[in-house]
Structure formats: C-alpha cells, structure tokens
Structure 1
Amino acid sequence: MAAKRDTSSGSFTSAMALSEMGLNGVPECYILPQPQRPAINQRPHCPTIALPVIDLSLLENPSLRPKVIEQVLEACKELGVFQVINHGIQISFTDDALDVAEEFFNCQMRKRCVLLLLMFENLFSIGETLSNITLIQSQLGSTCGHQNHQVTRRKWGNYAKVAHILHKKLMEVVLESLGLRPDYLQKDIEEGSQVMAVNCYPACPEPNLALGLPPHSDYGSLTIILQNQQGLEIKDSNGEWQSVSFIKEALVVQLGDQLEVLSNGRYKSVIHRAILNSEKRRLSIASLHSLAIDRKVIPAPELVDEQHPLSYKEGSFGDFLHFIQDNDILEGRYIDTLKKNPQTGSTKETADQMHENVISHSSG
C-alpha cells in the first residue's frame, strides 16, 4: 500500500506503519475503486509475461554484439522493458543492498526516520514529510546503532555506483539499437541524475483491494530494478496487466518517458505497478536515471522524417516535477502533455531547428 496523507493533520501514514499496528484489514483510505483493483483472486490464472532476458556479457563478443542489439531493439519496441543477466554487478553488491534494506525496514518507524537523517544529513534538508517528528539529539548516536547507518549508507552507495555504470552501458546499447551513435548525448548522460528508491511492500491482509504502487511510467531514461521476489506488473500493448517473472540475479530494465521522446515514439515507456501479497513483504531497489533536471529532451533529429513526423514537444525532468506537484498523477501522465499532432506544423522545419540544439549536447 502506498503512503497515504492524513489531510486532517498534514502528516503521512506509511503502509509499513500500518503493518506495524497489526491491522487485520485494509483501511478504507487505501481501498481502490472496483475497476482499479488487482485481480489477486485470479492470480493463478494471471499471465506471467516472459520478458526478454538479455545476456550483456555477449556485448564483448564482436560477432554476437549485433544479436544483443537486435534483442534490445525488439524488447524496447514491443514492451519497453527487459531483464538483463551477466550485467557486471557482483552478487555481493546486490545481496548487500537488499540485506541492509531488510534491516532498515525491520527498524520501527521512528528509528527509520532517525537513521535516514544520519545517513543523509549532509545530502538533503528535511522537508514537511518529517516535520511532525521530534528528534532528540541524544538519540542520533544510538538509534539503530550509529555504526549501522554508516554500513547502510556504504552498501547502498556501493550499489548506486555500480548501477550508474550499468546505466551508461545500457544507454549505449539502447541508443545504438535506435541507429544512433553509442556516445550520443554522452555528456548529458554523465551529468544526469540518479535517484535510488528503496521500497518495502508489506504483506497485506487483503491484497485484492489495494496496490503497492499505482500505475505509472517513470519520466527518466532508464530504471534498473533489483528485487527479492515477484510483484511487478506491466501493461502490455493490449492494455492488459502482465506479471513480471522473478529471476534471481537478473535485473529488470524499464524504459522511461525521456527515451520515448528521444526515440520520437519508436520506443514506448512502460506503464507498471506493484501488487501486494498476503504472505510476505517484497523489497525492491529502483535506480532511476534521467538527464539533468533542466535539460530539455527532444526527439533526435535523425529519427524525424516523413514516415516518422515530429511527435513530441520538448520537456525536462524539472518540468515533470512541476507537473506532478500541480496534478494528480493517477489522472494523467506528463508525457501525454508532450505529444503533438504530427499533422500540424512543418515537421522538417522543426526538426532542422532542433538539430543545432541537440548536436551541441551529443558530443562528449
């Protein structure tokens, strides 16, 4: 169940906090309207999609690399998501990241908040989410253990670094599959942003009434997902929900809205959601990557022609943040506001105007 704002107090109540209360049912504020509920009661018959599983180690073999590029092309064109194996991230890094996530969510809510302050006290300022929590200075050295927060920060940090390296490799492959240079937008990718979202979806007594994460697409370029069990679902081209199979040691790679725009619609960002189960909690660590917050993303001029008219306006991650601040993301996606009617305007003229802007950012 996703975090829910208590409008009467201005605070947030998380699903983990509710789980710690030992509730036997789903609070009314979490219950979804009938059409939005997952068909958990039909789960044995719910299709589990066989995502393409791509062996990245084959990229090092010149004779096999074209096959991998073709696999990526088909996966991006048909689904917008695939799994990767032999991705170069040592299992010790993924195990450590999940282990400390398990330890973190085993702490009580108050202790978790203090632990977050300890881990990231030099990285961000505290906003309204934690404004209702009174922190006692003497607790900072003892809550969950001062040494624990250093270990957690180090292990999550180690995973974040290798995920960043993997993202750069994946972007090269995806861009090459589009017929662009592997180093296209290299500088922008290097200077882009990375957000690590560590999620815990607790066991839910009535998983057919709620969702762990509502349907959405990620705005960035790629999202790399590490998880400890099945629970991710994607919407296929027919608008049907498909369960993503869990493969140990594999990572799920999802295309974001920025790549849909950059590809001029050749590739589609994937709409996905997280379901719940009644038996055990699920952990996932999503590494979300995007270009710099103010970098305007536009279709690559090389991908705009008479058969593929200009289909998107420019947009940035910053524009996306403003959108979700002012709009209910359940009622519409930001990328839909960027789509334009290809029959209007002079496509070639617009593409030529874009060329100089893009080329200045595509070298590096």
Structure 2
Amino acid sequence: MAPSAAVASRVESLASSGIASIPKEYVRPQEELINIVNVFEDEKKTDEGPQIPTVDLKGLNSEDPAEREKCREELKKASMDWGVMHLVNHGIPDDLIDQVKAAGKIFFDLPIEEKEKHANDQASGKIAGYGSKLANNASGQLEWQDYFFHLIYPEDKRDLSIWPKTPADYTEVTSEYARQLRGLATRVFSALSLGLGVEEGRLEKEVGGLEELLLQMKINYYPKCPQPELALGVEAHTDVSSLTFILHNMVPGLQAFYDGNWVTAKCVPNSIIMHVGDTIEILSNGKYKSILHRGLVNKEKIRISWAVFCEPPKEKIILKPLPELVTETEPARYPPRTFAQHIQHKLFRKSQEALLSK
C-alpha cells in the first residue's frame, strides 16, 4: 500500500478531516443500531440492572487459607457467571501501568506519517505493527479503530524491530509490564484450575505453559466519531484467547452482553479488566464463560485500550474439555481442535451467519 493510500485509510485521518457524517462502510447494520447508546450516559447508570463484577485479588496472597479460598471462589463465580470482571489489588504497580499507558499514548500522538513507518501488511500475512481493520469481519463493515499489534512475551519470541522507537522507554516499560502480567496470568490460571477441582497448574499447562503461551498486545485507538450512534469501535465478538487483560484510559466504551442486554463497563480506577476467552471455556467444558462483548465510540473523547491476549500455540496443542469434567450427564460440549482450527472454524461460522442473516 502506498503511503498516501495508507494514511487515507486510517480512521484517525477520517476523524481529523472534519467530516460531519461517517462513510457508509462504517455504518452498522440496522439490527445493531437499535441498541447503540450514549456510552457516557450509560456508564453513569449505577442502579439499573446487573453490573460487571469487581474481584479483589488481594486474598490470593493471604497467609490465611480461608481468605485465599474466599478470593478463589469470587474469581470462580465471576468467571462462571460473567466471564469478564474488573481485577483490583492485582499486584502490578500503578506507576508501571501509568508508564505503559503514557508510552502508548505518545506513540499514537505521533503524526500518522511517523506511525506508518511501523505499518503492518495484512495482505501478506504480516499482522504485527500499526494498522486498521480490513473489511474481512462477519458483517463486512469497518470498525472505528486504528491499532498497534505485537507479541510481548515470551521475550525470545519478540520482534523488537517493529516496536515503536518513540517514546524511548516504550520497550522497557512494555517489557516489564509483560513480565508482571505473565505472573498475574499464572495466579489466575491456578485459581481457576482449583475452581474446576483439578490440580493447580493444570490450565496453564494445557495452554502452553511458560514456554509456549503467547502474550499478544493490541493497543486500540478509537478516535472521536461524529456519528457514534451509527458506528462501533469493535463489533460484537468473544475472545479466542485463554485470558485477555485490558487497560484503558478511563474513557468508557466496553460493553458485555449479559442476560439478554448490553451492559456498559464502569471505569474502575487502578483495575485491569479480564476476559475469560474461548480457550478456557473449551477446557472447562463451558463452566467458565467467554462472554460476547463490543466497543462503543463517542464524539467527545479519544478512547485508548491496551488488550493483552494470552494465546496457546497455534498447532502444538489440541484444545478439548478436560477429561475430568466430561461425564455421561455432562458430555463434551466442544470437539477437539488446535487453536488455529478454532480460529478458522470461528471465522467460517461467523461468515456463514453473516450470509444467513442477509
């Protein structure tokens, strides 16, 4: 793609061009438009309906076995009921999180021409780097979002040549965040394993362990949108990952589909949002939920989120319900597949659903 064409295709370019209405390829289908709301108004509603739970992880490190058990039970309940939650007292220092957010914001504040030096090339399969969503999703529509995508852990699998050079501390703070987040993932896997009645290290082993589990970071940049009631930053989906951890710049946008309604996530200070992904839903034979969610945009504030997807290796592991969880009364709900096969099946199924709904 020539630089001029690439720049023209960025959502940021569109947003800053002064347009009053969005191009038709960004307008969502009618059935989605009826439930797109003003995200700021929706976030303020505190007494209407269910709210995404907040789980305090402080008890996981307690000397008191009863405290540890209580914390594990809360994590288990949130994972079974919702599959998404705000984690507080997660153990990652607030100042490190602030540095990660500052570094990502500085990169996205660069002129588009500078960011284009890190552009990916999705047509050739090079998805790491700076990009925008192509029209290959279920609806054929585009999402109001630019992003930067790269593998951040394990360290020996990274390609630092594509990492932003500006700001100068980007690599240092992102690497440290990846290390600490990997430790948090282990603690969550352990608690969720015990919640299923299997040995503590089981889920982590089943998704690749320290050597093979990949942490992929996607910094999502949602520019101001002149017609937010017609667009989505991210269309409705479940994560294919095992776990997903999300930071954001305290601008609301995340919605989860719970009990037949879209629920807007509150902005909880010093929290990390965690999603249970498809991989853990499969291993748990559906006991833990991978919830449908999406991202709204607005016309007042830029939203940035930092999503880290913890993904098993694509071909090395067969994902299927743990044998201990399969019984005559609870047969396996998912067929054995590699992670790559799951992704392909999911894309195919979504495209089939899109065709059938037309």
Shared topology, TM-score over 0.5? Answer: yes
Please say if 1:90 is aligned against 2:87. Answer: no
Could you tell me whether the CA contact under 8 Å between 2:39 and 2:298 is conserved in 1?
no
Please say if 1:44 is aligned against 2:6. Answer: no
Could you tell me whether the CA contact under 8 Å between 1:59 and 1:68 is conserved in 2?
yes
| Aligned counterpart for 1:30 among listed residues 26, 32, 36 | 26
Q: Structure 2 vs 1, CA of residues 249 and 41 (structure 1 numbering), >3 Å: closer, same or farther?
A: closer
Q: In angstroms, what is the RMSD of aligned CA positions?
A: 2.9
Equivalent pairs, count: 303
Distance 2:130 2:107 in 1: 22
- Residue of structure 2 in register with 1:138 after alignment: none
- Residue of structure 2 in register with 1:159 after alignment: 177
Q: Structure 2 vs 1, CA of residues 308 and 34 (structure 1 numbering), >3 Å: closer, same or farther?
A: same
**Unmatched 5+ stretches in structure 1:** 118-123, 131-145, 333-364
Distance 2:204 2:36 in 1: 43
Q: Structure 2 vs 1, CA of residues 69 and 195 (structure 1 numbering), >3 Å: closer, same or farther?
A: same
Please say if 1:319 is aligned against 2:320. Answer: no
Distance 1:327 1:11 in 2: 32
- Residue of structure 1 in register with 2:301 after alignment: 280
Distance 2:196 2:314 in 1: 24
Could you tell me whether the CA contact under 8 Å between 2:256 and 2:294 is conserved in 1?
yes
Distance 1:216 1:226 in 2: 18
- Residue of structure 1 in register with 2:104 after alignment: 101
Secondary structure of 2:98 counterpart:
helix
Secondary structure of 1:148 counterpart:
coil
Distance 1:126 1:222 in 2: 20
- Residue of structure 2 in register with 1:74 after alignment: 77
User: How much does 1:17 deviate?
Assistant: 2.4
Identity of aligned residues (%): 28
Distance 1:271 1:305 in 2: 27
- Residue of structure 1 in register with 2:14 after alignment: 18
Q: Deviations over 1:94-127 (max 9, x none)?
A: 111111111111112221122568xxxxxx7989
Distance 2:99 2:6 in 1: 35
Distance 1:272 1:244 in 2: 10
Q: Structure 2 vs 1, CA of residues 209 and 186 (structure 1 numbering), >3 Å: closer, same or farther?
A: closer
Q: Deviations over 1:117-168 (max 9, x none)?
A: 8xxxxxx7989979xxxxxxxxxxxxxxx96254222222222221122111
- Residue of structure 2 in register with 1:310 after alignment: 332
| Alignment of structure 1 residues 1-364 onto 2, 5 Å | 13-37=9-33, 38-41=35-38, 44=41, 49-61=50-62, 62-115=65-118, 148-187=166-205, 188-190=208-210, 191-229=212-250, 230-236=252-258, 238-294=259-315, 295-323=317-345, 328=350, 331=353
User: How much does 1:16 deviate?
Assistant: 1.7
| 1:232 maps to amino acid | L
Secondary structure of 1:35 counterpart:
helix
Q: Structure 2 vs 1, CA of residues 269 and 329 (structure 1 numbering), >3 Å: closer, same or farther?
A: farther
Q: Deviations over 1:202-249 (max 9, x none)?
A: 11111100000000011111000111122100000x221000111111
Q: Structure 2 vs 1, CA of residues 220 and 147 (structure 1 numbering), >3 Å: closer, same or farther?
A: closer
Mean CA deviation greater in 267-276 or 188-197: 188-197
Q: Structure 2 vs 1, CA of residues 303 and 12 (structure 1 numbering), >3 Å: closer, same or farther?
A: farther
Could you tell me whether the CA contact under 8 Å between 1:220 and 1:289 is conserved in 2?
yes
Q: Deviations over 1:264-309 (max 9, x none)?
A: 1112201110001111011100010022211111101111112211
Mean CA deviation greater in 178-187 or 212-221: 178-187
- Residue of structure 2 in register with 1:352 after alignment: none
Distance 1:128 1:51 in 2: 31
Q: Deviations over 1:44-103 (max 9, x none)?
A: 367664322222121122220111111112111111111111111111211111111111
**Unmatched 5+ stretches in structure 2:** 121-125, 133-163
| 2:21 maps to amino acid | G
Q: Deviations over 1:146-204 (max 9, x none)?
A: 96254222222222221122111111111111111111144423221111010111111
Q: Structure 2 vs 1, CA of residues 184 and 324 (structure 1 numbering), >3 Å: closer, same or farther?
A: closer
Could you tell me whether the CA contact under 8 Å between 1:192 and 1:293 is conserved in 2?
no
Distance 1:249 1:320 in 2: 33
Secondary structure of 1:219 counterpart:
coil
